[in-house]
Structure 1
Amino acid sequence: MSEAEERQHALLSPSSAWTWITCKASTAAQLGQPDDSSEYADEGTAAHELAKWCLDAGNDATAYIGRIITVGEREFEVDDEMAGFVQTYVDGVRERVEAYKLAGATVEMFVEQRLSIEHITGEKGAKGTSDCVLIACFADGHTEICVIDLKYGRGVAVDATNNYQGLMYAAAAVEEHSDFYSFRTVLIVIHQPRLSEKPSEWSLPIADLVDFVEKTAKPAAEQAMLYVESVDFAPLALSDFNPGEKQCKFCKAKAVCPALAAHVEETISMDFDQIPLSTLGDAVHMLDNDRLGVIYESLDLIDGWMKAVRGRIEVELLAGNAVPGVKLVAGRKGARKWSSTDEAETLLKSMRLKQDEMYTFKVISPTQAEKLLAKESPRRWKKVEALVTQADGKPSVAPEHDKRPALVIEPAVDEFEVVAAEDDGGDLV
């Protein structure tokens, strides 16, 4: 089940836990707001479906290349890229199961398990769906519950440490299986294969999970539901909100949230207050690197808000509601395609076109070649592997706290020597 479907069943869902725990008025503010899923979110849902097929059937992702996965009104074809990234996650789950078994544990695996969160949020019938839950029972009586989450996005890296969504799923999984097991430890694992082959992990004792539920999640849920129940007759105040980049990122109300708009305006003002524009007469100095660094800290918040506002305006216009100053226009036409591939093939054959004129062929991808050769013929695969190349990731800007190591870039050196002043070039005449 997709996160969009999950939210239809739970106002206080695990996937939005950071938002409703951090900003107590956010849930009430989102009531009645449009919830149009983006293409990126739907692509993530398709990737989760592919991962489920693999784990349930014991297949590799390459077995499904060419299959179509429908999410809402969108269709996604499983291609080599999706199969490769999903396989990284699938391999990670399988390797973890094998590691538990090698350590002497018996393991149970639950894929896409629906878990009740009613005991945490108080919302009747509320549930969430965990991508994968592993229960490892060791001979000494130690039992660990491992909650594994697949993040298919390539944007901001997600850390498992103090991850509210992971904690919510872990608490729900413990509640689900507590009649049969007595857990000592919890392991939260987040795979984000489009950013890193190595997952983020965080282990904690069961007592810390209980503390999170009792001292953080439950009080926040109670407060959020109070606002939901009273919003119709008690308008929300700016002080009820706690806008910020992380909690506003996936909030449905951020495009029309007055608290976020005020926060963005205040943030911009504060940033530029820290950027004294030194002047001398009419001369203005261009921004230096120190000033650019100050501005960078607010770019994601501002950019996210701007995109949300643009998206909301589009929703309003498509619904026939006027927005002063803007209008809808026809976009660029889509790529041309056959209305019927079979009819096109028959017609082209009747025109006596040659096979190489009618069809295009390409060599299978390295991922598909590895699937065919690596296990059955390692020596042949080794020869093929020698022809495989992989481009390095392009440099991208990230904040200093990002866990990836900084690239060392050498300043460009001028290849041309400066001509000495006393050399008048007379020898060249």
Structure 2
Amino acid sequence: MSKHALLSPSSSHRWLNCPPSLRLGQKYDDTTSSYAAEGTEAHLLGEYKLKTLLGMRAKDPTANLEYYNEEMEECAESYATYILELLEDAKTRCSDPLILIEQRLDYSKYAEGGYGTGDCIIVSDDTLHVIDYKHGTGILVDANDNSQMKLYGLGALELFDGIYDIETVSMTIYQPRRNNISTFTLSKNELYKWANEVLIPTAKLALDGEGEFKCGDWCVFCKSKHECRHRAEYNLELAKYEFKLPPILEDEDVEEILSKIDELVSWASNIKDYALQSALRGKQWHGFKLVEGRSNRKYINEEEVIKLVKTNGYDPYDHKIKGITAMEKTLGKARFSELLSDLVEKPKGKPTLVPESDKRPAINTAVDDFKEN
């Protein structure tokens, strides 16, 4: 049996928006990364911490964790504490709430062969709460209308709807390294409505290799992103502007380009990476060749360098204060906050133009300030 379902929760954002990508991606080998491995280990540690806190027997995995560090320890402990707080809150509404850890959740009733693993499930009378731990820092994960979380919710309902009088499904993303706790709540009937009207027909299209190709942020994790013709055509639409300077373009033209520019940059980067990796395997690209890139000098033997520099009366070391991240890792988050919170500030970030859907508040420009005065 495959380790992951074909219609998996983690890839659902992609196959629900671009159904044909499911079958298209099958011709590519599965790959992993150090980030994924680190995330898996963080889940193992979090599971152990939570079970220990709940008085369950569990084996400490720390000795076998390749990516274990103080930050992972703190994240796992904070996750376990957060779940315990949710459980205590559930007890205020239910005398004996049920908690399940690393529970298999099957939603194959709606998407053939579909299943996943819920990090934590809490059932308390009329409320079903699904919690998913995210260890990554690259992408801030939002629980709002999150398809992965809704699939977990459906799988959990398959287990408990009928046994409990569930009316509400809450879904929470716990992402400690981004200081992100995001919760999305909807009624059981709303979730079933989504399953019947959206999930069932789209999952069938995906399995049949049918439906329309569609580009979006879900392309980032698509196996065929380097060679997808639809993605290429979508991004090359910008060529109609012939890369004219902005003053020549109408406002509507600039706005259309802005809406696509991030995807265009991502696509171009993917193409360059694909072409390079193919060339390294022997592929010949007409008009291009492999050369050595720029490199920096490095010491062959640092200990010998230190010895010789000291012998000649010089200091080989660069003495400076640790950066905030390094200092926080040295002291630990709690001790760092205790000692240095009054000596750390976060300056305003550099202005950047983003879509209106971005959650960050808009900043005032000089023109706005003038109007207010």
Output the TM-score relative to the length of structure 1: 0.65
For 1:237, the equivalent position in structure 2 comes to: none
Give the whole-Å Cα distance in 2 for the aligned partners of 1:171 and 1:334. Answer: 56
* 1:11-90 mapped onto 2 (5 Å cutoff): 11-58=6-53, 69-70=65-66, 76-80=67-71, 82-90=72-80
Per the alignment, residue 195 of structure 2 pairs with 213
Are the counterparts in 1 of residues 216 and 263 from structure 2 also a CA contact under 8 Å?
A: yes
| Residue 117 of structure 2: aligned partner | 129
Mapped partners of 1:190, 1:58: distance in 2: 20
Provide the secondary structure at the position in 2 that maps to 1:145.
strand
Residue equivalent to 2:275: 313
Aligned-residue offset at 1:203? 1.2
Write the distance in 1 (CA, Å) between the matches of 2:254 and 2:214. Answer: 23
Normalised by the size of structure 2, how large is the TM-score? 0.74
Give me the identity figure in percent. Answer: 26
SS in 2 for 1:227: coil
Cα shift at 1:174: 0.9
Query: How many residues in Structure 1 have an aligned counterpart in Structure 2?
Result: 333
SS class of match (2:109) = helix
- The amino acid of 1:11's aligned partner reads L
Counterpart pick for 1:385 among 338, 341, 345 = 338
Judged with a 3 Å threshold, the aligned counterparts in structure 2 of structure 1 residues 298 and 326 are, in CA distance, closer, same or farther, namely farther
The answer to whether structure 1 residue 304 and structure 2 residue 266 are counterparts is yes
Q: Output the CA distance in 1 between the equivalents of 2:20 and 2:141.
A: 24
Whether contact under 8 Å (2:45, 2:62) holds in the other structure is: no
The equivalent residue for 2:110 is 120
Q: Counterpart amino acid of 1:53?
A: Y
Offset at 1:104?
A: 4.0
Contact (CA 8 Å) 2:170, 2:184: kept in 1 or not?
yes
Report the alpha carbon displacement of residue 263 of structure 1 after superposing the two structures with TM.
Answer: 0.4
Check 1:146–1:409 CA distance in 2 against 1; reply closer, same or farther (3 A cut). same
1:244 and 2:244 correspond: no
Q: 1:270 to 1:136 in 2, by over 3 A?
A: farther
1:293: how far off?
6.5
Is residue 192 of structure 1 aligned with residue 145 of structure 2? Answer: no
Displacement of 1:223 in angstroms is 1.0
Structure 1 gap ranges (5+): 1-5, 71-75, 138-142, 229-239, 279-286, 339-343, 345-361, 371-383, 412-429
Contact 1:68/1:78, CA 8 A, preserved across alignment: no
Shift of 1:290: 9.8
Give distance in 1, aligned partners of 2:18 and 2:127. Answer: 32
The Cα shift of 1:89 comes to 3.5
Q: Which has the larger radius of gyration?
A: 1
Deviations 1:9-37 (A, max 9, x none): 31111111121111121111101113322
Name structure 2 gaps, 5 residues minimum.
55-59, 304-326, 368-373
Give the corresponding residue for 1:222.
204
Per the TM alignment, residue 163 of structure 1 is displaced from its structure 2 partner at its CA by 1.1
User: Letter of the aligned partner of 1:367 in structure 2?
Assistant: K
The Cα shift of 1:295 comes to 4.3
Distance in 2 between residues matched to 1:303 and 1:293, nearest whole Å: 16
Tell me how far apart the structure 1 counterparts of residues 258 and 73 of structure 2 sit (CA, whole Å): 35
Deviations 1:306-363 (A, max 9, x none): 333244335434555455525385996999999xxxxx9xxxxxxxxxxxxxxxxx99
Partner in structure 2 of residue 365 of structure 1: 331
Equivalent pair of 2:7/2:112 in contact (CA under 8 Å):
no
SS of alignment partner, residue 359 of structure 2 = coil
- One-letter code of the match for 2:96? T
Using the alignment, how far apart are the partners of 1:407 and 1:84 within structure 2?
34
